[in-house]
Each structure stands twice: as C-alpha cells, then as structure tokens.
Structure 1
Amino acid sequence: MGMENDVAILKKHLKTSVRKLKLGRKWVFQMDIDPKHTSKVVAKWLEDNKVKVLEWPSQSPDLNPIENLWEELEKCVRARRPTNLTQLHQLCQEEWAKIHPTYCWKLVEGYPKRLTQVKQFKGNATKY
C-alpha cells in the first residue's frame, strides 16, 4: 500500500470513526512506527489535520489490542479453509462481520493488565 493510499484511508475513515465512536475532542491516534505509517506524506496530513499521535513501537503485539483481533480473524478464516483469493476475501468479510463489539471491548478492558505484564516482563513476550 502506498503512502497516498494511507492518506486516503485516513481522510475517508479517521474523522468518521471518531464521530461514530463518540470520542469527542480528547482522543489520540495510535499507530506503530512502521515506515509506511511514518512517511512524510502521512505525518504532514496528521499534522495539518491536528491529529494527536501516540508514538508506538513497531512489532509490539502485546501492547496493541488490534493484533489480538487480527489473530482471531485469521483463526476463524483459516478454519473455513479458503481455496482461492476470491473466497479468502469473502470469508474475511464474513468473519469480520461476526466479531461482536463486546469482544473488542474485552480486549481494550484488559489493557491495563497487559501493560502491567509488559512492564513486569521488561518488554519481552507475555501470555497475551
């Protein structure tokens, strides 16, 4: 995905998501430091749109609840054994739609415990 695509995704979805989630004005955007996310084009768009960004280390699955969500999606899709890209795409959409918001809430709710464990294990892998 190119940097322009990242900006297009941000333009199309970020403020809409903030509004739908009723976050108000006091929210912080989280992203890792993967080079595709930290490009000058993306950084400029975030700055121009006054988006407060929480700096985040890359490769930190223990700290990022979305990684658990991706893992759950992958497990559900893999269990259905897609045989081609079209079927993979369809199954991903179907399984994503089945993920209940309470599952997402539980991931976020467990965040303080996850932070404590990461600190306890000095940044090494935890049970999460």
Structure 2
Amino acid sequence: EKTSKPSCVGIREKSSIKVNVWAAISCKGPTRFCLFTSNLNQYGYKYILEYYLLPYLGTKFSREELAASYFIQDNDPKHSSNLCTQFLRDNGVNWLRTPPNSADFNPIEMLWSDLKTFVRKRQCRSLEELTKTIREFETNLSVEKCRKLSNHLKKVLTIVANNKGDWSNE
C-alpha cells in the first residue's frame, strides 16, 4: 500500500525570517514545495491540496494506485476541516489521521528535521537566502530518500503493532 505524507513546517532563522513549507512525499518522490509566509487557514490549505497535491497525485499515481493509497496528515484543524476533508473525498483521496508531530506515523517529520538542519547550516540572513536554500534542498530531494522515508513507515507500524501500540523507538 502506498502512502503520501503531507505536512507543513515553519523554518525560522535567528534573524526572525520565517517561511512556512508544505510538501508531501511518497515512494514515487516529493511534491513541489509550497512556500508561504502567511498563516494558513482551511481555505489556503484547500488551495495547496488543489494546486500542489492533486497535480502530483495525477502524474504519479494511476486511479487504481490512488484508490489503494493513503494521504497521511495530522489532525490539525485546517486538515480536518469539512472543506478540506470533503475536497479530498470528492477527489478520491483516502485520508489517514496521525497525531501531530509524530515521526513514528508521519515520516515527513524526519524530512522536516533534515530541512531545518540544512537551513541552519546556511545561516540565511534574508528571506531571499532562506527561500533559495529551501529550494536547493527541494531540488536535491531524491526519489530514493522519499522511498526510504515512506518504507520506514511500514517498519514502524509493524513494531508499534507488536508493541501493542507502544513507541517504536525507531
């Protein structure tokens, strides 16, 4: 079963420059990164789903693959809003909820950790530098890395099930 793991992370440098990043990954690679500086509400999130997630799913997954796949995201209010859940249903996207910031169940959290480390090493001093650095990370993000993160979920779920729902420590 294939999974697509979305999330949004705020990248903040010491100089108070901040960019939010949304992306999804699957065993077939990453979506385009959506960068924005404003706060995100359900309408903005629906826009991201429509213009970033759906085009990705349409080019990477057949209808049959999509029907057997799960779009994993946490239970953030904008993710679980009626507007967004209905939009996902209307477009044949199966949604699986996870706890917030849970790398055990949402491996994109590990990607966000890598991105934050990459950005911190660059010590960006302007919004332009920060954006360029994030885009560089995006460009270098390989299908193999996304596949590794996606496959990690299968391993973790097996361990969590064997531990009767307890931590995987993976």
TM range (shorter): 0.7 to 0.9
Where do 5+ consecutive residues of structure 1 fail to align?
Answer: none
> Match of 1:110, SS?
helix
> Superposition RMSD on alpha carbons, in Å?
2.1
Structure 2 alignment gaps of length 5 or more: 1-39
Question: What is the SS of the residue equivalent to 1:42?
Answer: helix
2:79 to 23, 37, 52: 37
C-alpha separation between the residues in 2 aligned to 1:67 and 1:56? 12
Relative to its length, the structure with more helix (as a share) is: 1
Normalised by the size of structure 1, how large is the TM-score? 0.83
Residue 21 of structure 1 is matched in structure 2 by 60
Counterpart CA distance in 1 for 2:115 and 2:101 is: 19
Structure 2 Cα separation of the partners of residues 43 and 8 of structure 1 = 13
Radius of gyration: which is bigger? 1
Q: Closer, same or farther in 2 for the Cα pair 1:81/1:118, shift >3 Å?
A: farther
Taking a change above 3 Å as real, the CA distance of residues 121 and 92 of structure 1, as seen in their structure-2 partners, is farther
Q: How does 1:74-113 map to 2 (within 5 A)?
A: 74-113=116-155
TM-score between both structures, scaled by the size of structure 2: 0.65
**Structure showing the higher strand proportion among its residues:** 2
Larger RCO (alpha carbons 8 Å, 6+ apart):
2
Task: Determine which of 89, 98, 101 is the counterpart of 1:56.
Answer: 98
Alignment-derived partner of residue 44 in structure 2? 5
1:77 to partner: Cα distance: 1.5
Q: Which moved more, 1:56-65 or 1:95-104?
A: 56-65
Displacement, 1:7? 0.9
Question: How many residues matched?
Answer: 127
